A and B are shown apart, each in its own frame.
Chain A
Amino acid sequence: MSHSSDDQQKRILYANQLGKRVTSGERELVILESLALDVERGESVAIVGSSGAGKSTLLGLLAGLDSPSSGELEMFGQSLSALDEDGRAALRAGRVGFVFQNFQLLPTLTAMENVMLPLELSPRQDIAAKSRQCLERVGLGARLDHLPKQLSGGEQQRVAVARAFVTDPDLVFADEPTGNLDEATGKRIIDLLFELNRESGTTLILVTHDMALARRCDRCLQLEGGRLQALERQRQEVDA
């Protein structure tokens, strides 16, 4: 591979000929095939597709949570296939944030403690202050000590958003972030997500089946038949 160092600094994610197959009994199932993707710093990219198209599988691969069957995949200029699971974990540490459809908050931890969790993995002093600040930013300054079950779904997802951004990550993955929320609440969460994205210059990869949501991203890619196709480049067209 030969990329200029400038390319590497701008390029956050790069995939080429990416494939994922799983065997189920005798049968081999192709989920992703010859997939290519190039995401630059600060971009927001939506990946849309019908249910069962392999969106979550792709997200898992891109985030280094799973390893591909074939092809190249780089994150922050580093090849993921050269790393084992621990190596990939180390690469993610402090630089990648996640927002999940089912929030993934730990039920025995308070909102504050949930947000503190990723920070506690990296040595730093201002964990509490930074977490509180983040929760205040998402409008939950008064609910710091509440357990997830004492919060509404929208509030839980706001805690999850705060947790995703608390490490000042370079890259945030969001997997159907509004999937479990009503429309109005979902819209507020999305507004928040984009606001934070803009404020911190984070790269955002959003997986969704909601086209309206996808259109708010810089780029929109459709996953179909195991490959990605560009739908439109609305923002650039508008800017142009």
Chain B
Amino acid sequence: MNLIALSLKGLRRDLRASDVRALFVALALAVAATTMIGFFLDRLDRGLTRQAGQLLGGDLVLEQGQAFDDELRQTLRQAGLELSDQVDLVSMVSQADAFQPAGLKVVDDHYPLYGQVRVDRGNGIEGLAHGPPPGSAWIAPRLAQLLDAGIGDTVQVGSLSLTVTGLVEREPDQQGGFSGLAPRIMLNLQDLEATGLVRPGSRIEYEILAAGPPAAIDGLEGRLDALRDAGVEIRDVRVDRPSLGRSLDRAQKYLSLAGLAAVLLAGVAVAMATRRYVDRHLDTAALLRCFGASQRQLGQLFAWQLAWLGLVAAAVGALLGLAGQAALLALLTRFLPLELPPPGGMPWLMGVLTALAVLVGFAGPTLLRLKRVSALKVLRRELDPIPASGWVVVVVASLVFGTLLWLYSGDPLLSVGILLGGLVALVVLWGLGQLMLTLLLAVLARLPQRSQQGRAWQLGGRQLARRRNASLGQLLAFSVTFAAMAIIALVRGDLLTTWQAQLPADTPNYFAINIQPQERDGVETLIDSAADATSGLYPMVRGRLTAIDGEPPQQQVPEEHQTDGALRRDLNLTWRETLPEGNRITEGAWFDAESGSDADSATASDGSVPISVEEELAGRLGLSLGDELTFTIGSDSVTGRVTSLRHLDWESFQPNFFIIFPPGALDGFGHSYITSFHLPDAGNEMLGEMVQRYPGVSVLNVEALLEQVRGILGQVTRAIEFVLGFVLLAGISVLYAALTASRPARAHEGALLRVFGAGNRTLARMQWAEFALLGFASGLLGAALAEASALGIYGWLGLAPRMHWLMWGAMPVLGAAIVGGIGYLLSRGSRRQAPMASLRLLGET
């Protein structure tokens, strides 16, 4: 017997059956969701890394105070990297009588490695993939305003005259550094020497920007470490994209979560559809046994049949996923000038693997029933093989799902945790479900039979509660479905709220630094006059961490963090009486709350100075409460004892500090002030005034950076909404599969009731009542499950947990409406049929 050919034939014939279609739809959706998200995340990740590279100027940036040697360039090139040299310095720039300090950005002919310079050369703004040619300069509009210079004018840079040929609207790379704070002038590297500004003692930053594949950078690891030790500052795009990091990390986690939810939903749908499939094929299996097929042949026949189904569904699903991610990107490209690399091959493989795994895990145990069917069933209909225990089905499915979780998340511990939590939740849900059905029966028994409508509810409720096992199965499946849908919807809402709260409309778009103490009041008044939001002024003292508990820090911190940047450069220290807005104490207590502290003398009762440390830094350096840190500031030093650890939001565009002292502790050390503020478009003139009156104050425009972060968040929001839609679709497919699976039994029941004299109207009401009750209960259980799961998931995503009262109210009602509606529609056919037909279909006549 050619089983493979026979299985194909069988499948072709089977396509007429609704359960096979439901299986197909569920599988195709699972694959479509995973491949869509897989393709999208894969491309987005690579695209965003590239974009972050653009912000940074390259995938790898090396920076030091002296020129790099050619040997290093040679090495980098040989590793497969494309290089661009850049030099940053601050100098006076003049035009006629006007003098201004400006940040010089000196670029070579390879600049920019990524993206384009948006510049106005007199013909409107255009995007160019090169810097200014020798002999010319491109300047920032603000510098043009300050110097009263325009295109065609000549500006003096050091001893060189350059013609202004462009006004730079936006540079693709947003280099920080001291020169980034002053208004910018960009010139060609070939002109640098002629300016005469490169002299011994000049403060100049030399940079090599490098672009290339991650593998090329990985290959240089040893060399880069040596350079770091020699004092070269190195930024790697994969490590240094902090301004995008947290939000994107959450978004990616969200999308992975949504993908898994879709797989879980599809799995539930497959399990439900398989039950019906198996029920329907018991007769076929018994007949085939009669005709002489062996158990093995039967097992293989049906396994092949489902394998074909899985493969075709996987192929269709993967194509859908590919189309889906293309649609997703088409929606998004408008919002971000992000060029994504083409789709990779991995998601395809994962998609097919997912389909087969879902099939094996969620359909396998149920399918085994077909093998065990007795040939005698052809004579005695009641001889059905014992169904696979519900718990066996759940355990096998969980194992497979856990493996998928592991594959997708790469985190075995997390997978095991979710799995165990899920199993416990199922047991609890099962118990709650039993209780609900028992309660339902008890309540219905006490209700008086007043109206026709009331009787229908009673009948429907009784049917539901009496068909206990089938109802429990559906209740669990629907609760999980609703919970998965709810979580994906809730997280979406909270994620977006968090993002909006994180970057409100008045998020600071300017930073002002280097404000001297005597300028403080004047600058503050000036800023307040035009800004609509400000962070307030923070004092800032630069100090280097030179001892932990009296020992050199290198000996105290964990080995892998001994080269941490925080140990090799000055840290910004501040003092403050109250906890800064947006900061949160995670351990210990803030100064004023600490017993025995005395804010006036800035010392605790034991005589030590309390300090507050940012938690991530503390984690890296292995610091805990009670540790003593010594900072060297100029030629003096100050020691403090850690009394609190703080969480802070680096993406807040507020001044943030690793270390905070109490007021008074840093008195006597030289300090300046820093502030951030939001300036509406109309307030731009204030900047000119500030530069005029306080030339030493540096103003940094972060509007472009802010816009970029906003743009990315906006884009990711759309991606998330699209994916949410997909998960909802998968949820509907579960409902469809489950209700389809239960249709024959209900049709039979309905037919019998009609034989006994129930009218069409009564039947319709009763069926609606039964489905609505089922939906209501599922919604309630689903809300409980979603709330419980949210606790864990929110922690994982870094969101603050909260109760979702609205969900508790909405889910039972929505559940009743959705399940009631779909169920009512699906059973319409059986109500239209003569009862004899329904009974005959079931082989009862």
Contact = CB atoms under 8 A, between A and B. Distances in A.
Interface of A: 56, 59-60, 63-66, 85-86, 89-96, 98, 100, 102, 104, 106-109, 113, 117-118, 120-123, 149, 167, 175, 180
B295 A66 contact: no
Given A64-B375, A89-B375, A93-B293, 7 more contacts: A65-B374, A66-B374, A93-B291, A102-B381, A108-B13, A121-B291, A123-B2
Nearest to A61: B376
B288 interface: yes
B651 interface: no
A104 B293 contact: no
Nearest to B5: A120
A117 B289 CA distance: 12
A89 B289 contact: yes
A100 B375 CA distance: 13
Contacts of B297: 121
A102 B293 contact: no
Given A108-B13, A120-B1, A121-B288, A175 B379 contact: yes
Contacts, number: 88
Contact of B1 (A85, A86, A98, A123): A123
Nearest to A116: B9
A192 B422 CA distance: 60
A123 B2 CA distance: 7
A92 B286 CA distance: 13
B295 A85 contact: yes
Interface string B288-302: 111111111100000
A85 B375 contact: yes
Contacts of A175: 379
B9 A120 contact: yes
B290 A98 contact: yes
17 contacts: A64-B375, A65-B375, A66-B374, A66-B376, A86-B294, A89-B293, A89-B294, A90-B294, A93-B292, A98-B378, A104-B283, A104-B287, A113-B13, A118-B291, A123-B1, A149-B841, A175-B379
B9 A121 contact: no
B742 interface: no
B843 interface: yes
Interface string B804-823: 00000000000000000000
B456 to A, nearest CB: 30
B380 interface: yes
A172 to B, nearest CB: 12
Given A59-B379, A65-B378, A65-B379, A117 B291 contact: yes
Contacts of A59: 379
Nearest to A55: B379
B741 to A, nearest CB: 15
A90 B292 contact: yes
Contacts of A121: 1, 6, 288, 291-293, 297
B296 A86 contact: yes
A89 B9 CA distance: 22
Contacts of A92: 290-292
A94 B292 contact: yes
Contacts of A56: 379-380
B199 interface: no
A90 B297 CA distance: 11
A40 to B, nearest CB: 23
B378 A104 contact: yes
Nearest to B375: A65
A90 B2 CA distance: 15
B758 interface: no
Nearest to B381: A102
Closest A-B pairs by Cβ, 9 of them: A93-B292, A86-B294, A118-B291, A65-B375, A65-B376, A92-B292, A66-B376, A89-B292, A60-B376
